[in-house]
Amino acid sequence: MSVIFWLILAVPALLIALAVFRTRRMAAEAERLVPQAGQVVEVRGGAVHHVDLGPRDAPVLVMIHGLSGQLQHFTYALTALLSDDFRVIAVDRPGCGYSRRDGEALATPGEQGRMILEALDALGVESAVLVGHSLGGTVALAMAMDRPERVEAVALLAPATQPQQEAHEVFRGLMVRRGWLRRLIGATIAVPLAAATRDKVLDIVFAPEPVAGDFMLRGGGALGLRPVAFVTASEDVVALQSVGAAQAARYETDLSVTGGLLFGSADPILSHSLHGHLMQAHGLSCELLEGRGHMLPITAPEDCARFIRDIARRRG
């Protein structure tokens, strides 16, 4: 065979190898910058990384972060405002941060909630107030319907509560339905692309507020620059679109928990008119923070802490 033929084969292989090398190097650097913060509990289908703060005999708050996030969204500021009076357990959702999940079938809110509850079993927690941000709010609602005896109340921060036909433009690149393709993208181009577009994406997610300057480290954002972060987020988006309508259909009959929702009035990711006010029909209060955006645990921790305390006082 000619030299040209071998070059035709070799060039794409070399480009892929370089992409894989760069991706692995960036992932290793991300884990160096944001190391594991807490302990890991093995559960069926994976493991749950968590930090456990505050008095062990105090009321329990369990904090569940959103899409492409990690528990540092809460330890950034919010846990310190609450851990004097509550036992605060912030988790990495299964597959995120330093948690693990062993397959895409475990990406549904119900399965993620089941895994978190198994971790709470290992920690000796029988019931808790659930604090869910964004997709973490979806998981918290699934837990409240699947295991209401374990949930004292829900304090939801800009949660995704309703089905959406399309993901927000900033997340459309995650809509990869074939697992092999998702893993290939994650191992090659996803991380370099995420690094290249990071500032633009963060501007959208934090809007209309400024991006926290220390978000990549103190907020754990660097952990998003790993193949597993892309794979997990893609699985999360696809799973949410698959089961979102079925979960919302259960609110009328299966949602009886005490609680409320807190939204920024200018949230560009999840509209309070769709995801917030509709939940009042199911017994949840809805409060707006004027001019605030989507990243409330980081941009408005004092308001979030006050809201969570109010919900905790109502707990069943």
In angstroms, the CA 190 to CA 70 distance is 18
Give me the DSSP letters along 154-218.
EEEES---S--SS--GGGGGG----HHHHHHHHHTTHHHHHHHHHHHHHHHHHTTSPPPTTTTTT
Q: Is 252 exposed, middle or buried (0-12, 13-18, 19+ CB in 10 A)?
A: exposed
For 232-249, b/e burial (b = at least 16 CB within 10 A) is: bbbbbbbbbbebbeebbe
| The pLDDT of residue 71 | 98
Show the domains of the chain with their CATH numbers. 3-313 (3.40.50.1820)
pLDDT at 57 over 90: yes
Nearest to 250 by CA among 296, 282, 208, 214: 282
pLDDT at 3 over 70: no
pLDDT tens digit string along 8-28? 444 454 445 555 656 778 778
Q: How confident is the model at residue 238 (pLDDT cuts 50, 70, 90)?
A: very high
| The pLDDT of residue 25 | 84
pLDDT at 126 over 60: yes
Q: Write down the residue that tokens 């894989």 correspond to.
A: 20
Backbone φ and ψ of 64, nearest 5°: -125, 120
For 71-120, strand residue ranges (E) read 87-91, 100-101
**What percent of the chain clears pLDDT 70, i.e. is strictly above it?**
93
| The pLDDT of residue 28 | 87
Mean per-residue pLDDT, 86-109: 98
pLDDT tens digit string along 243-271? 999 999 999 999 999 999 999 999 999 99
pLDDT at 38 over 90: yes
